[in-house]
Structure 1
Amino acid sequence: MKNILFFSIAFILFLGCKEATNSSKAKVIENCTYWDFTDRDDQFTGGIKMIPIETPKGTFNVWTKRIGNNPTMKVLLLHGGPGFSHELFESFDGYLPQENIEYYYYDQLGSYYSDQPNDLSLWDLDRFVEEVEQVRVALGLHKDNFYLYGQSWGGILCMQYALKYQDNIKGLIISNMVASIADYMKYSDEVLAPQLPPEVLEEIMIYENKEDYQNKRYLDLIVEHYYSKHILRIPMEQWPNSINRSFAHVNYDVYVTMQGPSEFGVKGDATLKDWDVKDQLHKITVPTLTIGAEYDTMDPKHMEWISTEVQNGRYLHCPNGSHLSQYDDQEHFFPGLIKFIIDVDSGAF
């Protein structure tokens, strides 16, 4: 009797396997290939590769880590800051692998897992563009597979890269970044600041005017009333470990040199203070996705406008998201991002 029951179950399972669709079989095969490290030069390190970067001040190494295999969909992730780390993107692990999208974590020079030379002259936008190009070449990315994703400062970097090297790109993704620092500051001053309680804004501006940016009270006010509403709309005690690690690992030499000392905009002698490429966006011809969020520090209407200025754009709006919408609006962020990558890959964009 047991044997009859065993063979009956086995037969049912066999029929179920026989009836599986070709697409589901293909998915299984793709997933097996996706996780296969066989004969890869990064197998020993589990996908991690230190890439030597030539700079005017010598050769340094930057950290990258590959997730998955896909010959036609490879995404290089440019983190924000400047001076933060790839850890801001660790939520991607929950969404991209099941779509068989290959992607690369990457700590830019000066960031936590890469070399951190003590030379402020290296924190220069044009030099970072050349760094990205060297990373692209080292990873074997090219116009038939290379998607460049940049968020916040990474969005500045990917726009600047595309204006020089777009012939190497298959798809461009500009996330949570406008095309003008002046416009960002205007939005911050005229739209976001007035949303703060008047007494809070008044106290913040006292510290701002005195340039007392390291004052604990100033930082507490910014975190409580600004970060929790416009950076990541999750109670701070519930912030993901990956976000906390990235904040703990920030390189303030890079951050202050390029972004400035204020947590309330780009100020002081920051090298990015005058950055503006609005009048150059029309030169970008590659398929481009811009991502904006309702509660972002960046104006979502400006992000939508960028998608109409480039020659082949699409806009993704995250109605519940803020600056880190890959965490606080995953419901809209990841389906829209994945659809863009697959649409470009399939020719449906």
Structure 2
Amino acid sequence: MPRFTRMVPFREHETWVQITTPDNPRPAALPLIVLHGGPGMAHDYVANIAALADETGRTVVHYDQIGCGRSTHLPDAPTDFWTPKLFVEEFHAVRTALGIESYHVLGQSWGGMLGAEIAVLRPDGLASLTICNSPASMQLWVEGAAELRAQLPADTQAALDRHEADGTVTDPEYLAATEEFYRRHVCRVVPMPKDFADSEAQMLDEPTVYHTMNGPNEFHVIGTMRHWTVIERLPSITAPVLVVAGEFDEATPATWQPYVDHIPDARSHVFPDTSHCTHLEKPEEFRAVIADFLALHDLAADARV
């Protein structure tokens, strides 16, 4: 598949963008813009979604959100710089620079939360939104994480509790206990796929965004997003929405059900025997479900024109 990259100006900074185009474009197929998670995990771990370019005949756009990956890093930015509003603005800066007017959005984890933040504003041209493995509220996320932690071995739970209380979350014992949670509920592929390892490595190398907005890991959420919720704004979304999750996802059903309950045109799909990185665990099945949803709403968008 033809693929090229470019830098897009954003405020006084730059956002790295990758555009994958199909060998055989389908005229009615609208471009798909992919939003990675974290915040701050870069695009690498969702890179395989680019295969939808050839599989569906559409352009697929990835970008590294500001503060991570190949985009401008801002380790000295003040805490209040890092807000959902910043990333909504960056999304539209990228879209506008690429000349994209009608489009689909797919967001994974934090990317799905960002997708919801974009969709509640009812932007022109949004044909559909796919929310993958994402909570509608961080309070629900924390509650779900607590339920999953309670299922870990007693010694693992004790290590997590002890080091969090002591503030020693970089201790090797704590990190090993964290990995046990990740193996169960984040990515069940062994060994960990290289794409995920690459995203994790760059985040650990420059953790400003992740640590500021989230915290030290997926289940100890003490960052600025701790009280985030979009639930009360979900009825404003008019675009069709697909919500997907894994059977063993750290995004438990209670965390994503509000999307289905409060968005007028929303449906859900749960992938058996997968966790938070469904797209890495069952990539072909994942892309097939997404492809069907996108094709359905390509037609709807085409009919509106």
| TM-score higher than 0.5 | yes
Rounded to whole Å, the distance in 2 between the matches of 1:329 and 1:216 is: 31
What one-letter code is carried by the residue in structure 2 that aligns with 1:106? Y
What one-letter code is carried by the residue in structure 1 that aligns with 2:189? I
The Cα of 1:202 is off from its aligned counterpart by: 1.5
Is 1:122 the equivalent of 2:78?
Answer: no
The Cα of 1:211 is off from its aligned counterpart by: 2.0
Rounded to whole Å, the distance in 2 between the matches of 1:334 and 1:304 is: 22
Distance 1:113 1:131, change over 3 A: same
* Residue equivalent to 1:259: 214
Hey, which bits of structure 1, 4+ residues long, moved more than 6 A?
none
The Cα of 1:321 is off from its aligned counterpart by: 1.3
Contact 1:292 1:304 in 2 (8 A): no
* Residue equivalent to 2:249: 296
Alignment root-mean-square deviation, CA: 2.0
Contact 2:42 2:65 in 1 (8 A): yes
Distance 1:291 1:263, change over 3 A: closer
Is 1:228 the equivalent of 2:183?
Answer: yes
Rounded to whole Å, the distance in 2 between the matches of 1:179 and 1:309 is: 10
The aligned runs of 1:326-341 (5 Å cut-off) are 326-341=279-294
Distance 1:199 1:83, change over 3 A: same
Contact 2:119 2:237 in 1 (8 A): yes
Q: 1:206 aligns with which of 139, 162, 170?
A: 162
Tell me the alpha carbon deviations over residues 246-272 of structure 1, each in whole angstroms, 9 at most, x when there is no partner. 1111131111110023442312xx110
Contact 2:122 2:236 in 1 (8 A): no
Contact 1:300 1:317 in 2 (8 A): no
* Residue equivalent to 1:132: 91
Q: TM-score, normalised on structure 2?
A: 0.90
Tell me the alpha carbon deviations over residues 58-98 of structure 1, each in whole angstroms, 9 at most, x when there is no partner. x1110001101555421111111111111011222444422
Distance 1:63 1:165, change over 3 A: farther
Unaligned 5+ residue runs, structure 1?
Answer: 1-33, 36-45
**SS of corresponding position for 1:105:** strand
Contact 1:294 1:322 in 2 (8 A): yes
Q: TM-score, normalised on structure 1?
A: 0.79
Rounded to whole Å, the distance in 1 between the matches of 2:282 and 2:254 is: 18
Rounded to whole Å, the distance in 2 between the matches of 1:320 and 1:275 is: 29
Tell me the alpha carbon deviations over residues 98-157 of structure 1, each in whole angstroms, 9 at most, x when there is no partner. 221211110011111111123134322211111111111111222xx3111111111111
Contact 1:293 1:322 in 2 (8 A): yes
Tell me the alpha carbon deviations over residues 216-255 of structure 1, each in whole angstroms, 9 at most, x when there is no partner. 11001111x10111110012xx222211111111131111
Distance 1:99 1:318, change over 3 A: same
The aligned runs of 1:157-196 (5 Å cut-off) are 157-189=114-146, 191-196=147-152
The Cα of 1:183 is off from its aligned counterpart by: 0.6
Q: 2:266 aligns with which of 313, 326, 332?
A: 313
Is 1:280 the equivalent of 2:233?
Answer: yes
Rounded to whole Å, the distance in 2 between the matches of 1:105 and 1:245 is: 15
Rounded to whole Å, the distance in 2 between the matches of 1:156 and 1:95 is: 22
Structure 1 stretch displaced more, 245-254 or 87-96: 87-96
What one-letter code is carried by the residue in structure 1 that aligns with 2:247? E
Rounded to whole Å, the distance in 2 between the matches of 1:213 and 1:263 is: 12
The Cα of 1:304 is off from its aligned counterpart by: 4.2
**SS of corresponding position for 2:13:** strand
**SS of corresponding position for 2:168:** coil
* Residue equivalent to 1:50: 7
Q: 1:156 aligns with which of 71, 92, 113?
A: 113
Rounded to whole Å, the distance in 1 between the matches of 2:232 and 2:218 is: 27
Rounded to whole Å, the distance in 1 between the matches of 2:154 and 2:56 is: 46
Q: 1:89 aligns with which of 20, 36, 46?
A: 46
Rounded to whole Å, the distance in 1 between the matches of 2:88 and 2:55 is: 31
Give the percent of matched residue pairs that are identical in Structure 1 and Structure 2: 28
Contact 1:162 1:284 in 2 (8 A): yes
